[in-house]
Chains A and B, each alone.
Chain A
Amino acid sequence: MARTLINIPPTARRGEVIEIRVTIGHPMETGFRPGDDGKILPRNIIQRFSCRYNSELIFSAEMFSAMAANPYISFFTTAQNTGTLALTWEGDGGFTQTENVTLTVTG
């Protein structure tokens, strides 16, 4: 399990625009760099990030070799109903991780 830093407001008013900011600890090894032994290190990157709000896909992003380690992603959405935001990272070597965050919508 990779460590994550997730910043989502726990509550929001209906119709309010909220910012979602996520960081995940990941080496994002490019696949082009030699290791200490001179051999090329195998690529190990996160290829896709997606966010589902009550099962509906609201945001996704593709990532490539040129991205820095511990990728940080920020995006906006509109608070509609109380529910779960499922944040999923998928990458090389069968890497997959999902974090669920509850959002309470008032009004």
Chain B
Amino acid sequence: MRTLPGLICLLALALVANAQTTTRQDARKSGFEFMGPSTQAMQKDDTLNPGMLSVKDGEALWQKPAGQSSKACATCHAAAQSSMKGVAARYPAFDDALKRPIGLSQRINQCRVQQQQATPLRPESADLLALESFVAMQSRGLPIAPTADPRLEPFRQAGGQRFMQRMGQLNLSCAQCHDANAGGKLGSSVIPQAHPMGYPVYRLEWQAMGSLQRRLRNCMSGVRAEPYAYGANELIELELYLNVRAKGMLGETPGVRP
């Protein structure tokens, strides 16, 4: 009988700990939760989600041979449903040859050049976004899982610093909107918490698919800073930091955003 109060005490402690982790998780919200019900419905239903047009294009491209090697993605990687599961959740990843981290779209282009011996796809081109969204959709519902690779650490720190650093004519940092004023309004738009969920997303304003880098560049021109070029180290570092910040949140690709 002496153990019973101890057990209850432990149980109570466990409950408290559990409640704490839940509230901590609840504080983080995907951009999805800031959207109106009709936009949410559009994302949730695959027959309504216009991002699925791109995913289906990507699925076709996955099977299509390209370049001098006449190899398709599927020749080496077989079915993406199993081989690409969870891959997008851990990107950007460290590239041994380049000795720096690269994003998923750069990895796809690297495969195209080195394995397929084809010309790289232009950043933000429909084909590259299609392949990226098809690969990223295989991580839908899986938690964002940044790798523990110690070589990534300096890049993550640089990304974190850049997130806090003021930039542009408006002299604003990412953190001033997305940490300090998330949930508030900028004009008529709700300011989300800037978790990189669901990329590449179908953005209604763009009437098209766009990558996380396009979104980041968009924010930079918004504060009247000169955006970094597609594939620039600075953008990859920001992506790395955002993924650590969103660790454990569930993938949504293809997301829909207003």
CB–CB A23/B207 < 8 A: no
How far apart are the CA atoms of A21 and B46 in the complex, in Å?
12
CB–CB B207/A68 < 8 A: yes
How far apart are the CA atoms of A72 and B41 in the complex, in Å?
14
List the B residue with the shortest CB-CB distance to A4. B53
Report the interface size for chain B: residues with CB under 8 A from the other chain.
Answer: 13
Whether A23 contacts B50 in the complex (CB less than 8 A), given A68-B207, A70-B207, comes out as: yes
The A-B contact count (CB < 8 A) is 35
For B50, give its contact among A6, A7, A21, A70 (CB under 8 Å): A70
Whether A21 contacts B48 in the complex (CB less than 8 A), given A68-B207, A69-B207, A69-B208, comes out as: yes
- Is A3 an interface position by the 8 A CB rule? yes
- Enumerate chain A residues within 8 angstroms of B236, measured Cβ to Cβ: none
CB–CB B47/A5 < 8 A: yes
Name the residue in A4, A28, A68, A70 with the highest tally of chain B Cβ atoms < 10 Å from its Cβ.
A70
- Enumerate chain B residues within 8 angstroms of A69, measured Cβ to Cβ: 207-208
- Enumerate chain A residues within 8 angstroms of B45, measured Cβ to Cβ: 7
- Is B56 an interface position by the 8 A CB rule? yes
How far apart are the CA atoms of A14 and B98 in the complex, in Å?
63
Q: Which residues of A contact B (CB under 8 A)?
A: 3-7, 21, 23, 25, 28, 68-70, 72
| Interface pairs A-B: 4 shortest CB-CB | A7-B47, A69-B207, A25-B53, A70-B50
